[in-house]
């Protein structure tokens, strides 16, 4: 039996965060929800085990989702990250190695497949 993956959801919109958490749970994984990249960074810096990050780019705080993705990849080599936005589309060179971009609005069926692919790589 596959082990449960711990997926860090970084989203400042509570309803969207709840939907993402439900998707993660339906896949048999464990969501960990935070509302800012600053909170996510603090969790990771404190040693919180994370197997994948799903982060929005634009949110309140000092860091955005791209900053978080870069920081996380510096902490954990090859950590899968899904960076999401409906406002901008970052160039491939703006994403850390192994990160992928997912455009909003969310198509949760497609996002579920991207999550599975990222966890399997």
- CATH number for the domain spanning 48: value is 3.40.50.2300
Structural domain contains residue 61? yes
Structural domain contains residue 78? yes
Structural domain contains residue 97? yes
Q: DSSP string covering the chain, please?
A: -PPPPEEEEE-S-HHHHHHHHHHHHHTT-EEEEESSHHHHHHHHHTT---SEEEEES--SSS--HHHHHHHHHHHSTT--EEEEESS----GGGSPTTEEEEESSP-HHHHHHHHHHHHH-
CA dihedral of residues 108, 111, 115, 120 (deg, nearest 10): 120
Contact 8, 50 (CB under 8 A): yes
Res 77: pLDDT: 86
Q: pTM for the whole thing?
A: 0.95
Structural domain contains residue 1? no
Structural domain contains residue 115? yes
Domain of residue 57: give its range.
Answer: 7-29+36-120
**For residue 2, pLDDT beyond 70:** no
User: Total structural domains in the chain?
Assistant: 1
Structural domain contains residue 19? yes
Structural domain contains residue 2? no
Report pLDDT digits (tens) over 17-66: 999 999 999 999 999 999 999 999 999 999 999 999 999 999 999 999 99
């Amino acid at each position: 039996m596959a082990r449960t993956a711990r997926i860090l959801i970084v989203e400042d919109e509570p309803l969207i965060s709840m939907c993402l958490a439900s998707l993660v749970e339906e896949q048999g994984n464990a969501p960990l929800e935070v509302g800012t990249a600053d909170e996510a960074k603090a969790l990771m810096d404190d040693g919180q085990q994370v197997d994948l990050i799903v982060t929005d780019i634009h949110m309140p705080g000092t860091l955005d989702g791209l900053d978080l993705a870069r920081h996380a990849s510096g902490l954990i080599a090859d950590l899968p990250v899904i960076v999401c936005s409906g406002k901008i589309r970052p160039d491939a060179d703006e994403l850390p190695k192994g990160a992928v971009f997912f455009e909003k609005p969310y198509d949760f069926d497609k996002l579920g497949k991207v999550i599975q692919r990222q966890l399997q790589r």
